[in-house]
Amino acid sequence: MYINIVFIAILFLNTSKGASFEEIIKSLTVSDEDLTKLVHSMENEFEKGLGKDTNPNAEIQMHPTYVTATPDGTGKCVVSFSKKSKKVL
């Protein structure tokens, strides 16, 4: 939804400046090399966001949504959710 709104806004602003639809689409096209760089950059930021020491200064601050430790360190639990079933292993 958000991407659609941004795209519509870009389209509206550029067409009001006289740009053709083809010119706008061409300006939004990303090369494979740039896309690969973007993906690697996002992965690095995700790792920083999940790191205990790097989280406070990360661009994307994240918190694990899984159990990272148990009080005595002996327990192990895996929870799996899908459309059809929920499992605790």
Q: Is residue 85 assigned to a domain?
A: no
Instruction: Using the CB atoms, write b or e for 17-51: b if 16+ within 10 Å.
Output: eeeeeeebeeeeeeeeeeeeeeeeeeeebeebbbe
Domain assignment of residue 12, given as a range: 2-63
Q: pLDDT at position 27, please?
A: 76
Q: Are the beta carbons of 79 and 65 closer than 8 angstroms?
A: no
Q: Is residue 77 assigned to a domain?
A: no
Q: Is residue 76 assigned to a domain?
A: no
Q: Is residue 32 assigned to a domain?
A: yes
Phi, then psi, of 31 in degrees rounded to 5: -70, 160
Q: Is residue 10 assigned to a domain?
A: yes
Q: pLDDT at position 40, please?
A: 92
Query: How do residues 48-84 score in pLDDT, each as one tens digit?
Result: 888 889 988 888 888 777 666 666 766 666 667 766 6
Q: Is residue 57 assigned to a domain?
A: yes
- Other CB atoms within a 10 A radius of the CB of residue 79 amount to 10
Q: Is residue 69 assigned to a domain?
A: no
Name the domain count of the chain.
1
Q: Is residue 19 assigned to a domain?
A: yes
Could you tell me the pTM of the whole model? 0.46
